[in-house]
Amino acid sequence: MASVREVYNALSDLANKDERGFVTPTEFNSFAPIAQQNIFNRLFQELTNVEALRKRNVDPARDKSRSKQIKEDLAVFSVQTNITKASGSFAKPDDFARLISLKTFGDVLLDVTNSVMIDSVYDEEKIDRILLSTLSAPTKSKPVALVRDTITVFPTSVNRITMRYYKQPEGLDPTTGARTVALPTFGFLIQNGKEAFNASSSVDFELPEHYTSELVLEMGKLIGVNLRDRDVYAYATGGQQTQQRR
């Protein structure tokens, strides 16, 4: 995953090179989660765009497919959880970002489950038409969910569901690589009057490592470091190659 230390060092060096001043850890830490969130949000828009190109046979095939690459990157944030109904609806998880799919929570017998997929509807007028229809009314074998701030599943006899969703980006422990609910943070200690990196109090980005250069760019925009994109990419790319050779 993208190293908070590498992004911080790249951004600091570029700021000093451009004589725009010094990027402090406090400034960095206030913008790091925002930068990661911005890039995460853009991935969905880019996926929509490349899917349109793919339908016109413009997107390259196999490993060169941009659609495939984005889906692989987003898979990092894919989570599955079981939710029990409360007060007539299902609450979204606290880290919920985008819905992938819903299905009923079924029993498993001889490795076969009787759960069924739930169609998702986001328009209240559409769900009203479905409920009033004698042909498309929801049943246990063909349930429908109205997705709003909470989720209501029809028929209402469904009391437990399984949700797969994209969670909000958070962070990784730089020493173990384990997920944490903490957000990206450059931890530091004061040594000889200067901030020195401290891995034990740091949190890496959850975005894959190849987003390092894009994180540097996004951080530069947010902090106000006015640098040419070419400089940022060249430095970040060089830093990644050096890191890989070690």
Residue-wise pLDDT for 208-220, tens only, equals: 999 999 999 899 8
- The contacts of residue 17 (CB under 8 Å, 6+ apart) are 231
What is the pLDDT confidence band of residue 244, given thresholds at 50, 70 and 90?
very low
**Both tokens of residue 48?**
């929509």
Q: Per residue in 139-192, pLDDT tens?
A: 999 999 999 999 999 999 999 999 999 999 999 999 999 999 999 999 999 988
* Amino acid at position 141, single letter: S
CA dist 59 and 79 (Å) reads 27
Question: Using CA atoms, how far apart are residues 144 and 100, in angstroms rounded to an integer?
Answer: 15
pLDDT at 169: 97
Return the minimum-mean-pLDDT range out of 21-25, 106-110, 212-216: 106-110
Q: What are phi and psi of 189, to 5 degrees?
A: -125, 150
Position 102 confidence tier, pLDDT thresholds 50, 70, 90: very high
- Please report, for residues 11, 30, 231, the alpha-carbon distance to residue 18 in angstroms, rounded to integers and kept in the order given: 11, 22, 10
Specify the pLDDT at position 203: 98
For the chain, the average pLDDT equals 86
Q: Which residue has the tokens 């890039």?
A: 39
Q: Is the pTM of this model over 0.85?
A: no
DSSP 59: S
The pLDDT of residue 84 is above 90: yes
Question: In the prediction, which pLDDT does 44 show?
Answer: 94
Q: What are the tens digits of pLDDT across the range 46-81? A: 988 877 766 666 555 656 678 889 999 999 999 999
